[in-house]
Amino acid sequence: MALENILILAAASLLWATIFRNHGRTWFMLIVSVIVIFWLQPALPIRGADFFTPLATLTLVVLTWFITADDETRKQRKNYITLAIVAGVVLLLNLTRFLPANFQLLTASRPPQLETTLVIFLITGLTLLALSRLTRFSASFLTVGLVLTIGLFLALKVPTLTYWTVYFLRSLSGQNVDASRITDFAWLGFSYVAFRLIHTIRDKQSGRFPAVDVGEFITYVIFFPAFTAGPIDHIERFIKDLRAPFAGLNLEKFYSASQRLLLGLFKKFVIADALALIALNDTNATQVTSTFWMWIIVYAYAFQIYFDFSGYTDIALGIAQLLGIKLPENFASPYLKPNLTQFWNNWHMTLTQWFRAYFFNPITRWLRSWQKPLSIPMMILLTQIATMLLIGFWHGVTWNFTLWGLWHGLGLFIHNRWNDATKAKAAAWATTPAKQAILNISGILLTFHFVAIGWIFFALSSPITSWQVVLKLFGV
């Protein structure tokens, strides 16, 4: 989000919390969240895509709610009212196509023809009607929903699939397909939407999904403070805050929320943006020849990505607090941790916890259930590398993100084996506070530099350029 977007949303949230308090709070969060996913979606070269992409988000969210909600919840009258209001908001946004260009402020470009949106509404409604007649096949629908979400995720992350997606959309809109580029299509917030939908479907399959109406579910998935950069909340915790009475802001709550918001703004727009001027990128990676300055730009990138990401998290937490929602923490001084395991327990914590709950733990249990299970070291190696590769692929299915995932997967495995082999000796040696401080500080420095070198693969687009940077760091 740009600075002006953040300030407008923060001001609107503060105004509502101050004047209306709990009156219509859930409606405010729902309607603003729907508007925001259209408002923040960037303009795209594909005709109409920047309007239909957020509309596809809403459609996917509603369909996921429908196949995960129980029959009693699904038939509640307020769900029809909510869907009608959401549809009305979308139609009003669509009608801004008839306003002069200077007044089209809530969509990236002029919205498409109204008839197309109405056809999408009709198809969605017929789909929901058909699904309502086939509830006995709900288990199959959950699997289909899971596969569809993962498939859409891959279409956005695998460059080849992205290209053919762009090719298809250009041909559908009657545009020149020869001009197709993978950069032509961007689905704002879908990475986080996908994680929330997968979490919902998996919890429904395991019988842990709570009963929520469609308005609560839409608000949870696209909650505007956390839509673009997280954190990834759990629906049980979010719904508890959403349903709790909100007495409005007192001085203590206002101070806490505004402090968090201002801290995030300072991190993102002062520190991170300043560091971005000298941080590692594809351009200066080839221009810098000095070992000293190569370390400087690598350090700059390491701190830039931290302050950028943690700044956005603080902004999200601050705005959410204004509305009585306490989102989970996402960062806890990760660069001050003495080993790689603790680093990942404190860096983007909600992402790490998500992968631990929905991939690492299930795959570990599956490997242990084998009739002839693997050795413990081999099991740890496979699960840690697989988990970190998936986290890398979440950012993009490229060679550099693959190398970044392997770097951290192997690092976690080596730390695990080293810790088991030396834990007793280290405890026997570190018998004084000074020796414990030496171990702690050396661990922090080693871990930070391991992570910083790993950021080289994350920041750059080419394995060859990344390797050249690594060589320059060590004067080769």
Please list the active-site residues: 395
CA distance 151 to 253: 42
One DSSP character per residue, 356-394 reads: IIIIIHHHHHHHHTSSSPPPHHHHHHHHHHHHHHHHHHH
CA distance 444 to 340: 9
Q: Which of 195, 173, 196 is nearest to 185 (CA)?
A: 173
Q: Please provide the size of the chain in residues.
A: 476
Note whether 39 and 51 are within 8 A (CB): no
232 burial via Cβ count (<10 Å: 0-12, 13-18, 19+): buried
| Axis crossing angle, helix 399-429 with helix 376-395, rounded to the nearest 10 | 140
Structure tokens at 216: 């609560």
Q: How many helices (H) and strands (E) does the chain have?
A: 22, 0
Query: What are the angstrom distances between the C-alpha of 252 and each of 85, 124, 255, 259, 311?
Result: 34, 45, 5, 11, 22
* Interacting residues of 207 by C-beta distance below 8 A, sequence separation 6+: none
DSSP 1: -
CA distance 290 to 407: 25
CA distance 144 to 201: 10
CA distance 218 to 33: 9
How big is the chain by its Cα radius of gyration, in Å?
A: 24
Q: Does the CA dihedral 455-456-460-466 come out positive or negative?
A: negative
- Hey, is 462 helix, strand or coil? coil
Alpha helix segments (H runs only) across 69-158: 71-74, 77-95, 114-132, 138-157
Q: Which of 134, 228, 240 is nearest to 189 (CA)?
A: 228
Query: What are the angstrom distances between the C-alpha of 241 and each of 5, 37, 142, 259?
Result: 24, 22, 27, 21
* Interacting residues of 427 by C-beta distance below 8 A, sequence separation 6+: none
